[in-house]
Amino acid sequence: MDLLTALVDKGLRRELPTRDEALAVLATSDDELLDVVAAAGRVRRTWFGRRVKLNYLVNLKSGLCPEDCSYCSQRLGSQAGILKYTWLGPEEAAAAASAGVAGGAKRVCLVASGRGPTDRDVDRVSETIAAIKGRHEDVEVCACLGLLAGGQADRLKAAGADAYNHNLNTSEGTYGSITTTHTYADRVDTVQRAQAAGLSACSGLIAGMGESDADLVDVVFGLRELDPDSVPVNFLIPFEGTPLAKEWNLTPQRCLRILAMVRFVCPDVEVRLAGGREVHLRTMQPLALHLVNSIFLGDYLTSEGQAGQADLDMIADAGFEVEGAETPTLPAHRAAGLCGAHDGGCGSCGDTACAGAHGHGKTASAPAPPAVPAARTDLVAVRRRGAGTDLPPNA
């Protein structure tokens, strides 16, 4: 396919595809799927070899969030039967993190529900970072605490945090239909605060919320412009008791096309396969490793994931290897800070690329909607082990 040849060439040059090209990836047929995976896989291997980075989530504070994000089981008014607990102590959180590190995790992600941290919350997380680094000096620590206020990113950086996660989740045009208690601009501001403090920015999306192909391209192009180091791709887990419980819009094939599109738009970025992979990719998870270079190990915030050993077996069986702590994740040009959003290094502001990056390019006609897949509610399992419980974690 001429399309895939062009996209591979652009990916190897770190050049931004056009919007039409990104939309065309999402519109490819199932007969073309393996060609799409192979093409995006070539880009992935050029920048990341056959390494897979493992990340481990620790939910520091679960449930009872005042925000109304429709996709979230911890949202205001959620009837999902998830674990609810207040802040874990530093040593309890560090013990949970140690389980992930023992399973091979290179990064520990500390997450707390809520609109954003208070200054006291930042103190709590700083103490937790110290406890984790005291046990595992080389582990990367990423904080995910919601919207940041002035000076909080600097304090987290000073406490030893390596990264900060705050996802854009969906396109700016559809954001108001998903969340009303904060805005897309608020999320962009938090990512930029983290970057200004010297934290590695982690920001991604959630697919499967009823969005169009154009919405998916919009949010991924928005991420490219924002230029995070890591882009997690989540697939909606339709929890019963949330507004999106009936949104079963994804097939394994569509998930792979979405991941391929993200890789073509963000060729040299850590693309992480995140929540919902077991629910929507199912037996096709190993194919996704040809597109992403990072996954979460074990369970998620409020849902159970694939067993940690099964993750390790899958990586080995697919011919990949777990990335070691001593190996840099990012390509040298990104690790050296030479690939900012506006330095031209990624083509983000090239002569023709900006037309796509800022939404002024042509839009391909939308393909006919695919048949709605049957809901697999049997695959959604609420987390009942690990942090906040007396049971051992899955890692």
CA 235 to chain centre: 9
Identify whether 213 is part of a domain: yes
Residue 384 falls inside a structural domain: no
CB 51 within 8 A of CB 330: no
Would residue 109 show up in a list of annotated catalytic residues for this protein? Answer: yes
Q: Residue 315 has what pLDDT?
A: 98
Strands 140-144 and 163-165: parallel
Active site residue 65: yes
Catalytic annotation on 266? no
Active site (annotated) includes residue 349: no
Per-residue tens of pLDDT for the chain, all 395 residues:
799 999 999 999 999 999 999 999 999 999 999 999 999 999 999 999 999 999 999 999 998 899 999 999 889 888 888 889 999 999 999 999 999 999 999 999 999 999 999 999 999 999 999 999 999 999 999 999 999 999 999 999 999 999 999 999 999 999 999 999 999 999 999 999 999 999 999 999 999 999 999 999 999 999 999 999 999 999 999 998 999 999 999 999 999 999 999 999 999 999 999 999 999 999 999 999 999 999 999 998 888 899 999 999 999 999 999 999 999 999 999 987 645 443 333 333 333 333 332 333 333 344 454 566 677 776 777 787 888 888 888 78
Known catalytic membership, residue 142: yes
Q: From the CB of residue 355, how many other CB atoms can be counted at a distance below 10 Å?
A: 15
pLDDT confidence of residue 352:
32
Tell me what pLDDT residue 342 has. 36
- Name residues whose C-beta falls within 8 Å of residue 118's C-beta, 6 or more positions apart in sequence: none
Domain count, the chain: 1
C-alpha closest to that of 92 among 298, 386, 383: 386
Q: Which amino acid is at 290?
A: H
Residue 160: other Cβ atoms inside 10 A: 14
Catalytic residue among 14, 44, 109, 339: 109
Task: Tell me whether residue 367 is in a domain.
Answer: no
Residue 387 domain flag? no
Q: Which of 144, 202, 266, 339 is catalytic?
A: 202
The verdict on whether 255 is a catalytic residue reads no
CA distances from residue 287 to 37, 90, 132 in whole angstroms, order as listed? 8, 37, 33
Burial 310-320 (b: 16+ CB within 10 A, else e): ebbebbeeeeb
- Residue 360 confidence (pLDDT): 33
- Return the sign of the alpha-carbon dihedral for residues 130, 136, 139, 142: negative
Asked whether residue 253 is domain-assigned, the answer is: yes
Among residues 224, 272, 277, 383, the one annotated as catalytic is: 272
Active site residue 202: yes
Nearest to 367 by CA among 25, 18, 27, 29: 27
The predicted structure's pLDDT at residue 361: 35
| Amino acid at position 395, single letter | A
Write down the catalytic residue from 14, 72, 224, 277.
72
The pLDDT value given to residue 372: 60
List 14, 19, 69, 255, catalytic entry: 69
CATH of residue 114: 3.20.20.70
> Tokens for 103?
């399973």
- Whole domain around residue 197: which residue ranges? 2-362
Is 375 inside any structural domain? no
Judge whether 247 and 239 are in contact, CB under 8 Å.
no
Check 14, 19, 44, 65 and give the catalytic one.
Answer: 65
Is 386 part of any domain?
Answer: no
Considering 75, 142, 193, 339, which one is annotated as catalytic?
A: 142
Per the domain annotation, does 385 fall within a domain?
Answer: no
Non-local (6+) Cβ contacts of 15 within 8 A are 9, 346, 347, 350, 353
pTM for this one?
0.87
Residue 175 φ/ψ, nearest 5 degrees? -60, -40
